[in-house]
Structure 1
Amino acid sequence: MAFLYPSFLFALAAVAVPIILHLVQLRRAKRVMFSNVRFIQVSKDLTASQRNLKDLLILLSRILFVIFLVLAFAQPFLPASDAVVAVDDSDVGIAIDNSYSMQNLHQEEDLTLMHVAADRAKVITGLFPSSAAFKLSAAEVLNHGSPVQKGEAAALLDGISFSAKAFMPAAAIKNGANHLFILSDFQKNSFTPAALDASDSLTQVHLVPMAAASTANVTIDSVYLEDEFIRAGAENTLRVLLTNTGVEAVEDLPVKLFIEEQQVSALSLDLPAKQSVEAVMSFRLSGGGVRKAYLVVEDYPVEFDNTYYFILSPSAPISIVEVADEQAGTLQQLYSNESIFRYTSFRSGTIDYAALAAADIVVLNGVESLPAALAATVANYVKEGGTLAVVPPASENRGAYTSLLQNLNLPASFLGTRADATKTSLAAPDPNNPFFRSIFSDFDADMQMPRAVRSLAWSRASDDILKYRGGAPFLSRFDRGNGFVYLMAAPLDEAFSTLPNHALFVPVMYRLAISSYKQTQQLAYTLGNATIQVPAVAMRKEGVYELKRDTLAFIPDQQVRGGKVYFNVPPDMDEAGFYTLQLQDSTLATLAFNYEKGESYLEQYSPDELRALVGKNRPNIHVYDYGDAFSVKGEFEKRYFGVKLWKYCLILCLFFLMAEIALIRFL
């Protein structure tokens, strides 16, 4: 123990005053005149030993009163446990996590973690002398990074609001403060010790974790269409993936789907703890045009991720161009029965190459004499992002097929199989293959499969969709740049294959056509997306593209090339919702943006886990236990300023003064 003002200890000589008074005190009998004996008070019998004990206790109380009064003025303290010079006028950094995970409620107070952190930060400012300057930061620096005094700091802390930006402790460390306090929930999903690597040994980093009442939360991970093709006026299916991040199951969670502010579907779900559940919702779109849609769940207290925004728009018809030797065939009857397909057929000698280039998928259906010009055209078509399906011819005339296969680098060759060859049965498809998603309502592995000969053979495909029972591929997909090539091993001729008469034929050929559909933009984006691309069709004017929402306008980093607009999400755009991409007064697209999902996972590190993460090799990083602001204040003072004892001396001083009064009054 040491004293701040040891010279006051000379005043301990005042202890002699009550001792002298006690020794020289004389008890003389005093005559009291009474007019009537009735006024004589009955006195207690008191022995000499009892009187002496009372006097000694009073003397002791007076001595201790004087001693602790002198000690209070001398201001004793226990020296600091860390050999670090206390902060005087140096800059002090305070970083508060104001990300959306801090919407969670505090363990002991009915306030959000962010508001509790702000209150504790105010107490921390009281640890330092009035001359100290404070650098405050949250997801972004406050007051443009300029240091402020204690009074201004409190006002800035009161004005902190939630932000969609990720909290970056490393950015606060780079401010160069001698002492940096980081108040956060320290999510396991986002915090790593590497975030503290920017600190040097001279910077004392103080981690102050906020204890959440619960880590339960439900978030909408994503939504997608069952077949990625929206039909106007028809029943469409939307699949929604929801995740329960908490350790307790959630029952009867309401999920609602809104389109243009009108509720079109609703259901209730049970979510097991720490698991994801996929919900299926149906909806109808009438007419054309873009529809703003969003999903809503009811979950408290973290509500920022309760709404998921996305865009719905009826898909344009899929353009199918068939090149065949016969004008009318099986595919014409197949695709003409569905309104989503726009089917066109050409003979190999009379082809509209402009229509072919604009098609979503080109089908070479058994063309016996493939012209070289057609082979070169479809090869370029695939390289530019088109989809090609090749059905081999029934004859042995290979024409320009060899050149086509070489141009597309397809490891395939014709086997010259005759129609009277033995047909081999196909193996049952893999129901987990994305190609067959939503095709089978009740999959039967023992279903009767079609049979076919093998006219075309290949290897090393990107995906083998259908196979023969022996393992050889029958229908495969080859990825070639932005385009796709589908190869079928047998002609669509009854002499070579029974597939055209099989129930599997229609869904397989429909899926081939639908797989060629390229969605111009995603249903939704996140605010953390690096680069977004949107087709720039119908926009031929020069100018700057803007993202607008209500009265807000943002100009992103942008580039126009290849008929598309490429832009980065502006860092200041931090509110989820619908935005329009505009060029001057023209609207190019409507986009939906949602918050990143990292903040939805609320599980946090405990103080002990933080200490284990930090390790013993970082003596400048200190982790505080859970507690109120005064416990943090007391621990910091003990470490850097020592334990001040003068308050306790003053309390004991008052205690012994009251003890003296009680002894005189009641004994």
Structure 2
Amino acid sequence: MNFLYPGFLFALLAVLVPVVIHLFNFRKFKRVYFSNVSFLREVKEQNSSREKLKNLLVLAARMLAIVFLVLAFARPFINSNADTNKINGNIVSIYLDNSYSMDAVNKEGSLLDEAKRRAKEIAKSYQLNDRFQLLTNDFEGKHQRLLNKEEFLQAIDEVKISAANRFLQQVINRQQGVFTGVSNRYAYVISDFQQNFAGKEAIKKDQDTQLTLVKLSANELPNISVDSVGFLSPVHQPNTSEKIIVRLKNFGNDDAKNVPLKLTINNQQKAVNSVSIAAGATFTDTLSFSGLGLGWQKGVLSIKDYPLTFDDELNFSFEVNANQQILSINGGKTAKYIEALYNADPYFKLTSVSENNINYAAFSNYSLIVLNGISQPSSGLALELKNFVNNGGTVVIFPSTAANVSSYASFLTTLNLPAVTSLATVATKVSQIELKHSLFKEVFETLPKNMDLPLVNRYFTYAENSRITKEPLLQLPAGKTFLARYPITSGQIFLAATGLEETDGNLAKHPLFVPLMYKIAFQSVKDQPLFYTIAKDNVITLPLVKLGANQSLKLIGDGFDIIPDVSRQNGKSLLYVADQIQKAGFYDVKKADSIMAVVAFNDNRAESNMKYDNQTDLQERFGTNKIHFIDTKKENISSAIAEKNNGTELWKLCLILSLVFIAAEILLVRFFKLQIHR
């Protein structure tokens, strides 16, 4: 048996007090005169043994009452935890879940307030010299240092609801990082334990850490969130009709009916709708709007849903451009078909150059480059195009069938494309079209049974290579490639088997040619993400921004102004914001007084699912790893911690026994009477 406070055992010297009183019985005797002394002697002899017995029992009761009272203060326990060494001291890490779900209310008030109270109870269960770590979802640097008990209690009061979202494995890893030396390691996780928090994967922990999960009582609440948004077209043109796809999710157990949905852009209402969503289902809706001007647009999708409102709005941003830059690199003959195609629409701004007059430095200004029948493809051009594609660009290759086969084979191999094997001169016809590909989506109103497909007189055949990812679009008989898409890194290349000359076939004059090339041009536009997620997306990606020696980019929002770290990578500018953005909204990226971009941030939707794991579910995540649970409904935290850390505590038993012996003394004094025989 061990003692938490052995210093109190010195108080056992107090048992000498009743012993002294017993030995030096301070009672004063009164002299009584009797006529018959022999009779008095007989009575005295008969009662002396009973009086001695009574005095001894009273003395024993007093001594035992004092002994057990002292033991109760010394906190005796039977140590059932062999891994704990009290001499080494304790390091206690307490994770306080401050995510949005902790803003919910139960009988104890808000879950966050209850969590703070529980954290304080845990801290008070340890000694004054123990060290503590407070950890929240913010993962702040100041929470990586150890605090004394007073500092820890003050830090708890400063915790507020945060937009950050973490997983249980991340929390445990962070807690284990603070443990050092030979001190006893205690980790506590105070949370409502939403299902997304623990996840579905197995959770690992250090065997030397005693982990305790403190589950708060939370009620499952109905909730609907605006989950995501996307455009049908990546291209945004001024004063044209747009269609936006909205996804809503009902996390509740009941159907949601007539939920109002509203779309505003630049604070102007553009569309409204009323939707119904089945319980636990995801609903997708399409909203149409028009009337956009040039420049950056700030859109907000919103619904009305109670009691949880943090996920009722979704911010997104996009840019409407006046035109799209396209480069055509042409062979010896004129590029009349490409020029006629793209010059017919003022949205496209086409630049045509000869293969002998290429400005490689200007490649980054274009989203699409068309190689139109070049006869002398060089290795230098191949390397520049490869870099362009790796940076997200799109290339379309219409080869010159009059060129040398081996030169094209080497050129295509440098671009990680299949090599040319031969030139076929037998007239044939495209036999198959991949209508399910996104390029052909919404191209045909109805699909004819016998579709008229392009004719071809001269074409290259390509070597099949299983290591190269290929998406066939148009195929010749026997599965030969006529036009295919090859995704490469973050860009793409469209490779045709023939050129656009009339001697090669009728592709340039075929009705399929115009929508096909328009769709490729639209798909080549690489818009920035419509929105970012707070505490998840810490890097903002922009097209390359050229900065002078004394220039920098600023990120400016509502009461927010920082200069982020900027780096250049793969032809893009990367802005590192770390965890500095904590509020949903719009932020302008400025270079001096010019707005380079507008980025939107939203809260993490992982907190939208208000369903929780129970103790059995959590235990399964840990497998054979030993963990402890504290049920705040059934257990007192202080007692549960003391029992877990110290084994079986006996102070309550000692206190009860002390009271029992005090009661025994009272009974002996009052009811143990001496009998006189006459």
TM-score band w.r.t. shorter chain: 0.7 to 0.9
Query: Which structure 2 segments of 5+ residues have no match?
Result: 4-8, 19-60, 664-678
* Structure 1 counterpart of 2:566, one-letter code: Q
Structure 1 stretch 224-233 or stretch 255-264: which is displaced more? Answer: 255-264
What is residue 159 of structure 1 aligned with on the other side?
Answer: 158
Partner residue of 2:459 out of 455, 460, 481: 455
- Where 1:311 maps in the other structure, the secondary structure is strand
Structure 1 pair 475–7 and aligned structure 2 pair: CA distance change class (3 A): same
- Where 1:372 maps in the other structure, the secondary structure is coil
| Deviation, structure 1 residue 509 | 1.7
In the alignment, the residues of structure 2 paired with residue 297 and residue 585 of structure 1 have an alpha-carbon distance, to the nearest angstrom, of 35
Q: State the Cα deviation string for residues 406-452 of structure 1 (Å, max 9, x = none).
A: 5535434375444xx55334324242x2333444566x484624142
Structural mapping, 1:315-330, within 5 Å? 315-322=321-328, 323=330, 327=334, 329-330=336-337
What is residue 44 of structure 2 aligned with on the other side?
Answer: none
Structure 1 pair 249–428 and aligned structure 2 pair: CA distance change class (3 A): farther
Partner residue of 2:440 out of 436, 444, 450: 436
In the alignment, the residues of structure 1 paired with residue 133 and residue 327 of structure 2 have an alpha-carbon distance, to the nearest angstrom, of 66
Contact 2:377 2:408 in 1 (8 A): no
Structure 2 residue 119 is matched with structure 1 residue 121? yes
Contact 1:320 1:344 in 2 (8 A): yes
Query: Which structure 1 segments of 5+ residues have no match?
Result: 13-65, 656-667
What is residue 96 of structure 2 aligned with on the other side?
Answer: 97
Q: State the Cα deviation string for residues 600-638 of structure 1 (Å, max 9, x = none).
A: 4454431122233334453xx31223526x543443344
| Deviation, structure 1 residue 584 | 5.4
In the alignment, the residues of structure 1 paired with residue 591 and residue 337 of structure 2 have an alpha-carbon distance, to the nearest angstrom, of 46
Structural mapping, 1:185-584, within 5 Å? 185-191=192-198, 197-198=205-206, 200-201=207-208, 203-214=209-220, 217-246=223-252, 248-322=254-328, 323=330, 327=334, 329-345=336-352, 358-365=365-372, 367=373, 370-372=374-376, 377=381, 380-385=384-389, 386-392=393-399, 401=408, 404-405=411-412, 407-413=414-420, 416-418=423-425, 421-431=426-436, 433-440=437-444, 444=447, 446=449, 448-453=451-456, 455-458=459-462, 459-460=464-465, 462-468=470-476, 470-479=478-487, 484-492=492-500, 497=505, 499=507, 503-519=511-527, 521-527=528-534, 528-537=536-545, 539-560=547-568, 564-583=572-591
| Deviation, structure 1 residue 342 | 2.0
Contact 2:588 2:597 in 1 (8 A): yes
Contact 1:581 1:587 in 2 (8 A): yes
| Deviation, structure 1 residue 357 | 8.0
Partner residue of 2:597 out of 566, 589, 614: 589
| Deviation, structure 1 residue 597 | 4.3
| Deviation, structure 1 residue 475 | 1.0
Structure 1 pair 560–615 and aligned structure 2 pair: CA distance change class (3 A): closer
Partner residue of 1:627 out of 628, 633, 640: 633
In the alignment, the residues of structure 1 paired with residue 112 and residue 303 of structure 2 have an alpha-carbon distance, to the nearest angstrom, of 23
| Deviation, structure 1 residue 330 | 4.2
| Deviation, structure 1 residue 476 | 0.8
- Where 1:384 maps in the other structure, the secondary structure is helix
Contact 1:532 1:567 in 2 (8 A): yes
Contact 2:214 2:630 in 1 (8 A): yes
In the alignment, the residues of structure 1 paired with residue 556 and residue 542 of structure 2 have an alpha-carbon distance, to the nearest angstrom, of 15
In the alignment, the residues of structure 2 paired with residue 425 and residue 175 of structure 1 have an alpha-carbon distance, to the nearest angstrom, of 66
In the alignment, the residues of structure 1 paired with residue 574 and residue 483 of structure 2 have an alpha-carbon distance, to the nearest angstrom, of 36
In the alignment, the residues of structure 2 paired with residue 131 and residue 169 of structure 1 have an alpha-carbon distance, to the nearest angstrom, of 24
Contact 2:102 2:112 in 1 (8 A): yes
Percent identity between the two aligned chains: 24
Structure 1 pair 102–286 and aligned structure 2 pair: CA distance change class (3 A): closer
| Deviation, structure 1 residue 469 | 5.5
TM-score by length of 1: 0.72
In the alignment, the residues of structure 2 paired with residue 143 and residue 495 of structure 1 have an alpha-carbon distance, to the nearest angstrom, of 73
Structure 1 pair 544–405 and aligned structure 2 pair: CA distance change class (3 A): closer
- Where 2:159 maps in the other structure, the secondary structure is coil
Structural mapping, 1:46-85, within 5 Å? 82-83=80-81
In the alignment, the residues of structure 1 paired with residue 479 and residue 320 of structure 2 have an alpha-carbon distance, to the nearest angstrom, of 40
Structure 1 pair 316–100 and aligned structure 2 pair: CA distance change class (3 A): farther
What is residue 612 of structure 1 aligned with on the other side?
Answer: 620
Structure 1 pair 438–252 and aligned structure 2 pair: CA distance change class (3 A): farther
In the alignment, the residues of structure 2 paired with residue 212 and residue 469 of structure 1 have an alpha-carbon distance, to the nearest angstrom, of 64
* Structure 1 counterpart of 2:461, one-letter code: A
| Deviation, structure 1 residue 561 | 6.3
Contact 1:426 1:469 in 2 (8 A): yes
What is residue 22 of structure 1 aligned with on the other side?
Answer: none
Structure 2 residue 175 is matched with structure 1 residue 169? no
* Structure 2 counterpart of 1:169, one-letter code: I
In the alignment, the residues of structure 1 paired with residue 99 and residue 269 of structure 2 have an alpha-carbon distance, to the nearest angstrom, of 27
> How many residues are treated as equivalent by the alignment?
589
* Structure 1 counterpart of 2:104, one-letter code: L
Structure 1 stretch 496-505 or stretch 219-228: which is displaced more? Answer: 496-505
What is residue 43 of structure 2 aligned with on the other side?
Answer: none
| Deviation, structure 1 residue 295 | 2.2
